[in-house]
Amino acid sequence: MRDRPRALSSLTLLAALPLTSGATLPSTDVSALVTNLRSDRGQILACLTARPEAFPGCNNDPDARRLKVPATTTHLRFGTVPEGRYAIALIHDENSNGKLDKHLVIPREGFGFSQDAPVVMGPPRFSSAAFPVGSTGEHLSIKMRYLL
């Protein structure tokens, strides 16, 4: 019984070792080239997430990467992210009001998704847009689409 406190403190030390030795998850850079913009007016709103339930708007994902860049910028850099599966959603916010404008339920502004995920009666599922990020990084091309 006398060795029990020493055993517990040893286990505690071993459990904390990865945190104190600087061990981290492997991470790498993610970037995307935006193609087929119909104009350079407004801004591009971009969202990168690893959480299926947060896609496509990155809602309730504190780890999501959000970008807001002028529509004249077509190369998006999301920075360094841990390895895993991610999906990207884009909006071409031509009037710079911070949202996707619609006419009834049809988008009036452009949108795009990683993997050129198909749009059928609403945004695609995370699984359709997801791509792996490994140790070498990931550079994608995302095509904007316009319905009106």
pLDDT digits (tens, 9 = 90+) for 57-87: 999 999 999 999 999 999 999 999 999 999 9
**Whether 55 contacts 89, CB under 8 Å:** yes
**Whether 96 contacts 43, CB under 8 Å:** yes
pTM beyond cutoff 0.85? no
Helix (H, G, I), strand (E, B) or coil at 41: coil
Could you tell me the strand order of the sheet in which 27-35 lies?
Answer: 75-82, 27-35, 138-143
- Strands 27-35, 138-143: pairing is parallel
- The domains found in the chain, sorted by start residue, are 25-143 (2.60.40)
